[in-house]
Amino acid sequence: MKVALITGITGQDGSYLAELLLGKGYMVHGIKRRASLFNTNRIDHLYQDPHDPNQRLKLHYGDLSDAMNLTRIIQETQPDEIYNLGAMSHVAVSFDTPEYVGNIDGLGTLRILEAVRILGLEKKTRIYQASTSELYGGMPENKNERGFYDESSPFYPRSPYGVAKIYGFWITKNYREAYNMFACNGILFNHESPRRGETFVTRKITRAVSKISLGLQDKFYLGNLEAKRDWGHAKDYVRMMWMILQADEPEDWVIATGVTTTVRDFVRLAFIEVGIEVEFRGEGVDEKAYVLLCNHKNFQLEIGKEVLSVDPSYFRPTEVDLLIGDPSKAKNKLGWVPEYDLASLVKDMMRGDVDTAKKDVILLKAGHEILRQAE
């Protein structure tokens, strides 16, 4: 039985990857940070009785800032594959916590690589490092002749998160060459799902639109509506992570869809999923979205109602306006083809958030009924 170790297993990618590997018969170990609150909701459906001898998922307390702890976990688990998905991955927040991001996203990668080397596991353990499209910084002059970013495009990170990840990228490449380790970088472009963190823009959109469609919220606020991203589904991307570590040789890979969409159009698609059509008026910080047509079966919004405004406080100090990746290498060499397009991604996310919003409606009605009876 193959053994895998996943850092960041309680996150979006970690939970989907754990599902994938368990389905392939792996023994999966996951590292989670100690917290006063339970934060395992994304993997609770996978984690059964820890006393069950057939349980193939085991969690360990750890932190990417603690080299001794990481070394102990790797020594105990003796993994065939390590997937380093743990990170502080919110680009905007990285401007507020640059030192922490550098320690976790940059040096955390080094600690894992060095632990594998010290323990003499260079020939046994294959390592996947979760890199990011933020390495490119959206610099138009660095795209290839087809207008995309690929494995040979120069890097120009424009956030503390991107800078920390560029260290992780190069130290992984360095250990691969210096110690002949099977260590690979997956340069992931934006990938979303119903399990995406609620502070990320796509999930912020789908949650707000779901609540607006059910009368739980009037409007919401976003930053740069003109920003363009290459959005894929996390399920497709974790499948590629696994494929990278099954390859014959260790290499670096771009994981992307090759299609770019504005934040504005993502908003449109989300509203369409609940039978609402919106139009945008104004420019820059004065741009707003209004209800143009409402075919929602259970809730009618007033035509012309304002549902979205721009809040300049959400602008980043250095904005990356356009990111689009070229996944040709992954498709040609490994046969990776995404199963989800953008429309099906938005549908999947909206389905999850609408279901959650409906539960909120039920709870709200129940609360009102209790108050009514108490009067």
pLDDT, tens digit (0-9, with 9 covering 90-100), for 192-246? 999 999 989 999 999 999 999 999 999 999 999 999 999 999 999 999 999 999 9
User: Span 344-369, mean pLDDT?
Assistant: 85
Pairing of strands 306-310, 220-222: parallel
Residues whose CB falls within 8 Å of the CB of residue 155, separated by 6 or more in sequence, listed in order = 135, 136, 137, 142, 166, 169
Mean predicted lDDT score pLDDT of the chain: 92
Annotated catalytic residue 161:
yes
| pLDDT grade for 97, boundaries at 50, 70 and 90 | very high
Average of per-residue pLDDT across 264-290: 96
| Average pLDDT score over residue span 354-360 | 90
- For residue 269, pLDDT over 60 is answered with yes
pLDDT value for 157: 93
Q: Which two tokens stand for residue 155?
A: 């890097």
pTM over 0.85: yes
In tens, the pLDDT along 2-54 reads: 999 999 999 999 999 999 999 999 999 999 987 655 677 788 888 766 667 77
Does 134 qualify as catalytic in the annotation? yes
What pLDDT, on the 0 to 100 scale, is given for residue 143?
79
Higher pLDDT, 137 or 6: 6
Q: Which among 132, 202, 257, 260 is annotated as catalytic?
A: 132
CB-based contacts of 200: which residues, under 8 Å, 6+ apart?
A: 90, 192
Main-chain dihedrals φ then ψ at residue 302, nearest 5 degrees: -65, 130
Bridge partners for 235 per DSSP = none
Which string of DSSP letters, residue by residue, matches 145-160?
TTS-B-TTSPP---SH
Q: How far apart are CA 58 and CA 50, in angstroms?
A: 7
**Contact call for residues 259 and 339 (beta carbons, < 8 A):** no
Least confident of 110-124, 249-263, 349-363: 349-363
pLDDT of 299 > 90? The answer is no
Which region, left, alpha or beta, applies to residue 210 given φ > 0 means left and ψ of -120 to 50 means alpha? alpha
Model pLDDT, residue 365? 67
pLDDT reported for residue 38: 64
> For position 374, what pLDDT does the model report?
67
Residue 98 burial by Cβ neighbours in a 10 Å radius (0-12, 13-18, 19+): middle
Q: Which of 26, 136, 161, 237 is catalytic?
A: 161
Domains of the chain: 3-188 (3.40.50.720), 201-224+263-317+342-374 (3.90.25.10)
Cα dihedral value 116, 117, 122, 128, nearest 10: 50
